Amino acid sequence: MKVQLYNTLTHSKEEFKPIDPNEVRIYSCGPTVYSYAHIGNFRTYVFMDSLRRILKYNGYNLKHVMNITDVGHLTSDADTGEDKMEKAAKKEGKNPYEIAEFYTKAFMDDMHKLNIDMPNIISKATDNIPEMLEMVKEIIKNGYAYETSKGIYFDVSKLDKYPVLSNNKLEGQEAGARIEVDPEKRNPYDFAIWIKAPENHMMKWDSPWGPSYPGWHLECSAMSRKFLGPKFDIHTGGVDHIPIHHENEIAQSKGATGQIPANYWMHCEFLLIDGGKMSKSLGNIYTLKTLAENGIEPLAYKLFCFSSHYRNKLNFTFEGVKSYQKALERLRNGYEKHLTGTATVQESKLKEYENKFHEAINDDLNIPLAMSTVWEVIREENKSVQYAKLIEKFDEVLGLDLKNYKKYQTKVDVPEEVQKLVEKRTLARKEKNWAESDKLRDEIKNLGYSVKDTANGVEIEKIL
Ligand code: AMP
Ligand code: ZN
């Protein structure tokens, strides 16, 4: 079955044709590890996970690289402001390498919690400095860059076309609207590929231009070429990367090798919070930890991401995501019921469901549509192990770890106060004091918990 992917480069959905049919080469822009990644960032990595899993489902082998940006990403995405790593280091009283190590680990832990299928190669920018320096030299040699007092700048006027991904027209735009006016630059949209380090800068390397460090965009151009060669299949990131980071990556790669490095450029739309942007000043930056504190599992957040196509904006609200926590539980229960079912299903029926699911995912990762087939199978009246096996197959793409559902049935951490009320209620019920039992149930509810009397005893749940 053909795989269709939307390509930002051509602004259209195209049939995916890998350069090497035996191995699809992918590069994903990874995190800048100066603080905890937020749930918006993770929407983009859930999209990356789905892409990986769908290609594998279609029988492709992958060589997938993701970078860890631990130097050079300035507080503006262009080339002004402080290095985000150094800023965090000063704030936390640590050195930038300690900051990078701490937040890289936190990022990896969260990726595992989301059951994200990890790229084969994950490499830190600071481990690839020689390759970056080499690329700067090539770009200069080819006549695409020049030196200023601040660093080495890419000359966009030397390109046949800039920008190529976005529909942005440079003409007619105020130079200062998107970028700071710098009198040393030849063109307003020229950008730094290599930055001369001020005296007190912590992360710097020797170079023909003195102690300096790489620009963020250069990292990805150099690392993708090092691990995947000058031309590979797919490049991924969030939509905010289209107008600056990816334009500049393409410019640099063209300056060094004469080629646009990837054939397909794929971008995940933004997660909005209560209809707007996440920002520190609004205090609405949520992490997986914030969600867990509100009784929402990382995998419920993943399921929430599946409610919208990756090219549509997705609005996060606590109410919205809580309903996906419930949905995840229904999904696990439904799977369990099929697992213990005894009905026999015709092969043609299974095939029909499988085709519907497969067609949806191959249509530019239409997971919301594929989910409707998953729910149809879950809701099938006839409970059958064959359906359970089909759901397991679908889960190769979803990555909700349904097979290991028991692992997630850990009891909620019940506060002592609630525990005591539950014990009193059990006693009241033994004494057939129903009025007292009901009163205690209400008190427990007011503390945010519900009690259910089952054959296995009392079950306590946090009310979401
Ligand atoms: P950063 O660590 O800032 O480089 O971002 C990591 C990834 O998250 C990038 O691919 C961004 O494009 C993406 N990203 C940032 N904010 C959001 C958001 N609100 N929704 C979806 N993706 C985002
Ligand atoms: Zn990148």
Residue type, 195: I
d(CA 117, ligand 1 centre) in Å: 18
Amino acid 202: pLDDT: 85
Alpha helix ranges (H) inside 114-143:
129-141
Amino acid 168: pLDDT: 64
Amino acid 83: pLDDT: 80
d(CA 138, ligand 2 centre) in Å: 20
Query: What are the phi and psi torsion angles at 27 (to 5°)?
Result: -125, 130
Amino acid 180: pLDDT: 63
Ligand 1 atom nearest 33 alpha carbon? 2
Give the Cβ contact number of residue 335 at 10 Å: 21
To test the pocket of ligand 1, the residue of 26, 35, 44, 268 to mutate (highest count of ligand atoms within 8 Å of its CB) is 44
Residue whose CA lies nearest to ligand 1 atom number 23: 41
Is it true that the peptide bond before 163 is cis, omega within 30 degrees of 0? Answer: yes
d(CA 190, ligand 2 centre) in Å: 18
Residue type, 50: S
Strands 449-454 and 314-316: unpaired
Amino acid 89: pLDDT: 78
d(CA 401, ligand 1 centre) in Å: 24
Residue whose CA lies nearest to ligand 1 atom number 11: 238
Ligand 1 atom nearest 41 alpha carbon? 8
Ligand 1 atom nearest 30 alpha carbon? 6
State the ligand closest to the CA atom of 253. 2
Q: What's the pLDDT tens digit per position in 418-447?
A: 889 998 998 999 899 999 999 999 999 999
State the ligand closest to the CA atom of 67. 2
Amino acid 454: pLDDT: 72
CB within 6 Å of ligand 1 — which residues?
Answer: 29, 31-32, 40-41, 43-44, 237-238, 240-241, 268, 270-271, 278
Query: How far does CA 170 lie from the centroid of its chain?
Result: 30
d(CA 41, ligand 1 centre) in Å: 4
d(CA 54, ligand 1 centre) in Å: 21
pTM confidence score? 0.88
d(CA 179, ligand 1 centre) in Å: 20
Amino acid 198: pLDDT: 87
Terminal C-alpha separation, the chain: 41
Q: Which residues surround ligand 2, an ion (CB under 5 A)?
A: 29, 220
State the ligand closest to the CA atom of 73. 1
Amino acid 172: pLDDT: 43
d(CA 307, ligand 2 centre) in Å: 27
Amino acid 413: pLDDT: 66
- Spatial separation of the C-alpha atoms in residues 241 and 248, rounded to whole Å: 10
Amino acid 275: pLDDT: 84
State the ligand closest to the CA atom of 235. 2
To test the pocket of ligand 1, the residue of 240, 277, 288 to mutate (highest count of ligand atoms within 8 Å of its CB) is 240
Residue whose CA lies nearest to ligand 1 atom number 2: 31
d(CA 118, ligand 1 centre) in Å: 17
Strand partners, 174: none
Amino acid 464: pLDDT: 72
Low-confidence stretches of the chain (pLDDT < 50) are 172-177
State the ligand closest to the CA atom of 223. 2
Residue whose CA lies nearest to ligand 1 atom number 7: 41
State the ligand closest to the CA atom of 31. 1
- For residues 96, 98, 99, 103, the Cα torsion angle rounded to the nearest 10 degrees is 140
Q: How many residues does the chain have?
A: 464
On whether the CB atoms of residues 221 and 253 are closer than 8 A, the answer is: yes
Ligand 1 atom nearest 69 alpha carbon? 4
- What string of DSSP letters covers 242-291? IIIIIHHHHHHHHHHHSS-SEEEEEEEPPEEETTB---TTTT----HHHH
Ligand 1 atom nearest 238 alpha carbon? 12
Query: How far does CA 149 lie from the centroid of its chain?
Result: 37
| Largest CA-CA distance found in the chain, in angstroms, rounded | 90
Query: What are the phi and psi torsion angles at 163 (to 5°)?
Result: -85, 160
d(CA 77, ligand 2 centre) in Å: 11
d(CA 126, ligand 2 centre) in Å: 14
Amino acid 170: pLDDT: 58
Ligand 1 atom nearest 277 alpha carbon? 19
Amino acid 175: pLDDT: 42
**Strands (E) located in 115-269:** 121-124, 145-147, 151-154, 191-196, 212-214, 232-238, 262-268
